[in-house]
Structure 1
C-alpha cells in the first residue's frame, strides 16, 4: 500500500484550510478521499467541484439514481461507501 503525505487541518493554510473547513461543514468531518488530496489543494478544489457537478448538477438522472449508482460502483470495487 502506498504512503501519501497528507496535510491536516491544524497545519493547513489558505485555500486548503478553507476547503478542509468547508468539508467539515458539508459532511461533519473530513473524509479520507478529501484528506488524501490535501497535498494538492488545486486538485482537491477541482475534484470537489466535479463531484458536486456530477451528483447535484443538471442531469437526466435524479439525485437518488446517482447515489444508487455510486453505491453499486463502490460495492463492485469493494470500497466502503
Structure 2
C-alpha cells in the first residue's frame, strides 16, 4: 500500500511540477510516467537513507504524509531530469 501511495503521489507531483514550471512540461503522459518513476524512487531512497518512518512507515498519518511528500518531490525531480535530457537530445 505504501508503494501505491508513493506512485500516485509521484504522478500528481510530476504533473504539478509541470504546471508550476512550464518549461519542464512534457505532456500529461510523460509527466505522469516520469512522476510515477520518481515517486517510486523517492519513497525507496528515503527508506534506504534511514527515514523509513517518513516513507514507508506504515499507514499512520505521519507515514502517509511522508509517502505523499517523498513521492511528489521525487516525481517533480525525475520530470525535471527527463525534461533536461529531452531538451539536450533535441538540440
Give the TM-score of the pair, scaled to structure 2.
0.30
Q: Greater helix percent: which structure?
A: 2
Relative contact order (C-alpha < 8 Å, sep 6+): which is higher? Answer: 2
| Larger-Rg structure | 1
